[in-house]
Structure 1
Amino acid sequence: MADDAIELEVDGRPVRLSSPDKPYFAELGVTKRGVAEYFLAVGPGILNALRDRPTTMERWPGGVREDVVVATRADGRGEAFYQKRAPSSRPDWVQTTTVAFPSGRTAVEVAPADLATILWMVNLGTVRFHPWPVRAPDTDLVDQLRIDLDPQPGSDFAMAVAAALELRQVLADAGLTGFPKTSGGRGVHVFAPVRGADFIAARHAAIAVGRELARRMSEQVTVNWWKEERGERIFVDFNQMARDRLMTSAYSLRPTPRGLVSAPLHWDELPQVQPSDFSILTMPARFAEQGDLWQDLEDAGPGSLDTALEWYERDAAAGEGDLPYPPEYPKMPGEPPRVQPSKKNPANWQE
């Protein structure tokens, strides 16, 4: 087949787009070129979301289809996959930086500083971006506290919205300013700019904020790591603040046939919307009218984690210390045994 690639001019750089007519969201009539045009339409917003941040690419090079298998750690044969390391064959203008994983190994990742680099990532089939909460060159210094409100079976988006509205006040009580967005699915994400902190402190702050929210909404919210203990509540996924556990960026596309978008919001509109309101088809017009609603996040002065960390120490003194890390992590200092409660026994658990 002849190469039908086209060239896009993006901020003065030529960016090659191969197979522009390949269906990407076939039910919507959106091709690969349509995906590129979407990201150009929300360019200032996606650039704000990713600028200088090491970013894992979620690549769907064959387009988004329900029959596509996503590669996992256990089975890497899927057609769609997550790519952490920057490809070795890349233009010399593509920006990168070095990150350290929990294992101590390091890798060079793409850290886009311009829209051309983001469109180059789109050409690789990237539809969803997963940026670290750090910026190059200091990739050990967290500058965003990110709270993931994740509806469990039996709960829904409306419950996540209610939790987010209360979370706004919890963050304010901690001296932090939160900014909401849809996750692209049923959940809500709230980000708060913070002065530089290490990953352990940031995760402890997320645990403390989650616990405070759960106290205020005990019937609706939980921080229980084990699924068997969560019930029909909103789970505050504190481990999204662990090193190399990443959340979807604003303006990313959810790789499902409807092409929903992780959409930045104003707080006052949060109770009025549904995730389905924001898609690859509707977001460009919204962006043209309102611009990047999270420009305020970029402009906001960073807050201190001190109060949240004081809450963490208070809770630890009362017997509520650290919580389990993700399963791929090495054993961490102060972490309780990674044994689900139904399997606790003297051989595998020490109080």
Structure 2
Amino acid sequence: MPITEVEGRRLTLSNLDRVLWPRTGTTKGELLHYYATVADVLLPYVRGRAASFVRTPDGVEGQRFFQKRPPAGTPDWVTVAEELRHSGEPMEQVQVNDLATLIWAGNLACVEIHVHQWPAGAPERADRLVLDLDPGEGRTVVDCCEVALRLRERLAEDGIEVWAKTSGAKGLHLLAAVRRATPKSTSAYAKRVAQELQARHPGQVVSTMAKAHRAGRVFIDWSQNAQRKTTAAPYTVRAQSAPGVSAPISWDEVAAARDPAELAFTIRDVPTRIAERGDLLAGLLDPDRAATLPG
């Protein structure tokens, strides 16, 4: 097995030619190469936050599981912090704070990285707000774009700036930087806005959790702000049939989208997008652009 050194850490890499995405023939080595290439833009969004992983050791068509606790054999140089579960029980979780940890996790086939909307150790200090737009049966990401534009306008009324990224699956994620907020206050605000939009556009939008109500409409999932929830991180790969990425997109792209294929980005596309356009989500990291929630 090859041994490599990453930022002074020795890593043993295994099964680099193992195919994780049978449909496209994409290997674990290609996954690691992608994460190494985009690390500079990915890490600021996950650093200092408890991470959960979707692991697919036998590929995305095989067994998968959601990993919260540190895997067996986690090196002592990987930052592990104790977090409180929703039940109040303490639980250790990994923080992906550096390139070495990112590559170590990728080598374990931790394909997806999910994080909370608050920093590790501060579960009552939400610094992000997220709205997850999920197209119901008969709808696509293009319909999510229409709803995203309405949400952008609505949040702007409250002085909240919003950035967009693809979910890497079917929908969109809208993100805003907030200050002096809690998971409870961000959840309440996101729910209120989602309900407002449903009231204004009942044939287009739904804000209730019941899947039976989502057909033909876009579900605005406001619950991702809750303390117990996590969201796919910016630039994470997704364990779908193809190696899609949760990729930041511009509002021009949102407004212009007419075909779902226009917003389907893979690990082959995203490094070029970054080289040509930079990090389209960078404003989310600027503390001067964080907003205070109304009320």
Tell me the TM-score normalized by structure 1.
0.78
Equivalent in 274, 286, 290 of residue 302 of structure 1: 290
Q: Which residue of 2 aligns with 1:293?
A: 280
Higher deviation after alignment, 31-40 or 267-276 = 267-276
Q: Which residue of 1 aligns with 2:267?
A: 280
Equivalent in 40, 44, 51 of residue 55 of structure 1: 51
Query: 2: CA distance between counterparts of 1:123 and 1:153?
Result: 35
Matches within 5 A, 1:174-253: 174-253=158-237
Report the CA distance shift for 1:29/1:97 in structure 2 as closer, same or farther (over 3 A).
Answer: same
Conserved in 2, the CA contact under 8 Å of 1:130 and 1:246?
Answer: yes
Aligned-pair CA distance for 1:50:
1.0
CA deviations 1:37-58 (Å, max 9, x no partner) are 0111111122122111111110
Q: Which residue of 2 aligns with 1:14?
A: 10
Conserved in 2, the CA contact under 8 Å of 1:59 and 1:81?
Answer: yes
Conserved in 2, the CA contact under 8 Å of 1:48 and 1:295?
Answer: no
Q: Which residue of 2 aligns with 1:161?
A: 145
Matches within 5 A, 1:82-101: 82-101=66-85
Q: Which amino acid aligns with 1:56?
A: S
Equivalent in 76, 85, 89 of residue 105 of structure 1: 89
Higher relative CO (Cα under 8 Å, sequence separation at least 6) belongs to 2
Of structures 1 and 2, the larger Rg is shown by: 1
Aligned-pair CA distance for 1:257:
2.8
Equivalent in 243, 255, 259 of residue 271 of structure 1: 255
Tell me the TM-score normalized by structure 2.
0.92
CA deviations 1:113-139 (Å, max 9, x no partner) are 212111111111111111111113423
**Is residue 157 of structure 2 the alignment partner of residue 173 of structure 1?**
yes
Conserved in 1, the CA contact under 8 Å of 2:57 and 2:109?
Answer: yes
Q: Which amino acid aligns with 1:290?
A: R
Aligned-pair CA distance for 1:258:
1.6
Higher deviation after alignment, 128-137 or 31-40 = 128-137
CA deviations 1:147-186 (Å, max 9, x no partner) are 0111111222111000001111111112211110111122
Q: Which residue of 1 aligns with 2:242?
A: 258
Aligned-pair CA distance for 1:245:
1.7
CA deviations 1:207-227 (Å, max 9, x no partner) are 012122223333211112223
Equivalent in 23, 33, 39 of residue 35 of structure 2: 39
Aligned-pair CA distance for 1:288:
2.3
Q: Which residue of 2 aligns with 1:344?
A: none
Report the CA distance shift for 1:146/1:47 in structure 2 as closer, same or farther (over 3 A).
Answer: same
Conserved in 2, the CA contact under 8 Å of 1:11 and 1:115?
Answer: yes
Aligned-pair CA distance for 1:88:
4.8
Query: 2: CA distance between counterparts of 1:196 and 1:83?
Result: 30
Query: 1: CA distance between counterparts of 2:67 and 2:198?
Result: 34
Conserved in 1, the CA contact under 8 Å of 2:181 and 2:292?
Answer: no
Structure 2 stretches lacking a partner, 5+ long = none
Conserved in 2, the CA contact under 8 Å of 1:170 and 1:212?
Answer: no
Percent of aligned positions that are identical? 34
Q: State the SS of the aligned residue for 1:144.
A: strand
Q: Which residue of 2 aligns with 1:25?
A: 21
Q: Which amino acid aligns with 1:302?
A: A
Aligned-pair CA distance for 1:231:
4.2
Q: State the SS of the aligned residue for 1:20.
A: coil
Query: 2: CA distance between counterparts of 1:18 and 1:139?
Result: 36
Q: State the SS of the aligned residue for 2:161.
A: coil
Report the CA distance shift for 1:196/1:51 in structure 2 as closer, same or farther (over 3 A).
Answer: farther
Judging by fraction of residues, say which structure has more strand.
2
Report the CA distance shift for 1:63/1:196 in structure 2 as closer, same or farther (over 3 A).
Answer: farther
Conserved in 1, the CA contact under 8 Å of 2:49 and 2:118?
Answer: yes
Q: Which amino acid aligns with 2:147?
A: A
RMSD over aligned CA atoms reads 1.8
Conserved in 1, the CA contact under 8 Å of 2:117 and 2:127?
Answer: yes
Query: 2: CA distance between counterparts of 1:145 and 1:227?
Result: 23
